Amino acid sequence: MDGRWDGLRAEVREAVDELVTSGRETGVQVAAYVAGAPIVEEQAGLADSTTGRPLTADTPVHAVSTGKGLTATVVHVLAERGRLDYDLRIAEVWPEFARHGKDDITLRHALTHTAGLPALPADITPADFTDWDRMCGLLADAEPRWAPGERLAYHAWTWGWLVGEVVRRVTGKPVSQVLAEDVAGPLGVTGELFLGVPETDLPRLARLEDAGLAALMTWAGANLPNFDAVAPPHVRPDATTGSRPDVLRADVPAVGTMSARAVARMYAALLGPVDGVRLISPDRLREVSAVAVRAEEWVFGQEATFGLGYAVDADGSFGTAGSGGSLAFAYPELGLTVAAVRNRLGAGDGDPMERLRVLVRDRVGAELGR
């Protein structure tokens, strides 16, 4: 790696070592790219505290909704090739979806969480998540809560099947296969970037631990009136759901499993070439990373901002973060991408992965004079 970033790497290494040695984290990976080249790849701690298996750079970690960025990227790669249009009416490729007046919902509505279909049945179970046809059937039969585009509501789980079924209808392939063939494969990270995880790779995954996330989910269910509609009690996005082998194997494309270095590399290939691979054009990059909707969000009651499948932050970045703290973001103006993943899913702990992201962003910005 470029010696220009030796100081930053040392700072990140010290930070992740302290998080692990203090007992605040079990295992952490941090990775960053600038101008298509890796500048940070640091990891510390254990993939599995019960066996002592170390967390290595290539250990995949289930990073919950950080996986939405993988699915969104698949859509943009297909759009770049002329296979998809953001204003495609979903019912054009998925005719059953038109039921109950849903014929005007577009892929753009789905990507921006404005499709009006954030809710799942209250009795849904993780076993249901493993049945792709059942989940898509539920959405085809669902009545929208409001007209498309009328309200922003985080489609915590439903987003994945809405977007993923469009991909399947257009390509004839599961979205996890398209990710492997058209994104992970060209970038050389097929063993580290997953939606559905192959059976043979399950033993390589980091073991998730709960560090307050489950308690936060319980609080949210009791205090946020719309929370249980989007994340019913049996399928809350936590260490329990994210540890089930059947769910990990299934395509549940609102969530994903990845190493920090693989997802940082993916975002880098959205910004520009990475070893000769560029996923989308500069014009499309500007389109997908621009603010598409900014409004008070229905589930959490706070203002939220989304582009086409990614959150857009006030610091100029776009990307996704997951329950428990993992994240991956890109900074087009800096040519920077940052990913930080953890296997100890926390809440109310000061958001250490976000602090690592800010550390990298600020040091790179200062070095580049921006």
Owner of token pair 């960053």: 32
The 3-state DSSP class for residue 44 equals strand
Q: Where are the alpha helices (DSSP H) in the chain?
A: 6-21, 68-80, 90-93, 107-111, 126-129, 132-141, 158-171, 175-179, 185-187, 213-223, 227-230, 245-249, 260-271, 282-289, 352-367
From the list 65, 289, 317, 323, the catalytic residue is: 65
Annotate 223-236 with DSSP letters as a single string. Answer: H-TTHHHHS-GGG-
101: left (phi over 0), alpha (psi -120 to 50) or beta: left
Owner of token pair 């929370």: 227
Does 323 qualify as catalytic in the annotation?
Answer: no
Distance CA 159, CA 68 (A): 8
First to last CA, the chain: 22
Residue 216 tokens, joined: 């936060």
The 3-state DSSP class for residue 150 equals coil
CB 68 within 8 A of CB 159: yes
CB 43 within 8 A of CB 56: yes
Residues facing residue 43 across a β-bridge: 29
CB 347 within 8 A of CB 324: yes
DSSP state of 66: G
Active site residues: 65
